Structure 1
């Protein structure tokens, strides 16, 4: 549980954040690539936001710099909402037209949504701790 509710935001926290960010970036990029190959539309540009955000945050993590946790939490939450809207549509269309590529996009976007959700939650916990709340809360170990 210390992975979800970190007490210390040092090197181990950054390594875990880097791993989650790489997973999120890979899944977002792969899903966007599949979506663009399947059918190009101007609506596909909306899926660039999670890719660009993951690149920016990953670059800051690699340089040992930090972005404010509230900004990270909001951007990851927006990415999650974008994926939550499209995931059921991907699976429904994949089942309707027996499209393996569309089903694969649904799975890739599901993994991306989970990674962004974890990053959003962890940034929210970090923001909560920086405000001074949660100091007396006993979290499960």
Structure 2
């Protein structure tokens, strides 16, 4: 004869084990990891969007400044190209980058690596009193 109380206890134990796995076990841990990953992904996407906006704004300002210089000084696009190459070579390489490894520092607010010549941290927007934008030029 089947002892219904034993069968009920067995069922209750299995339900309890399944509940612990879902809420506090592996599935619960996976849910927490997924939630954390989603939060980090959203934060990264927000930062990328912010950087894209800042890049577009810098591109607009640079184009406007160049147009202003051309109108008021008579400089040409060839002059700009020559000066860009000169500044690019200031680090010893014509590679399209201004490499200044020796003039880097940690931002006092966010601790990311920034140029010593920075007036504002590009990561956290902290104003820096020690920055000289023309230090390495």
TM-score (norm 2): 0.29
The answer to which structure, 1 or 2, has the higher relative contact order (CA under 8 A, 6+ apart) is: 1
Quick check: which one's helix share is greater?
1
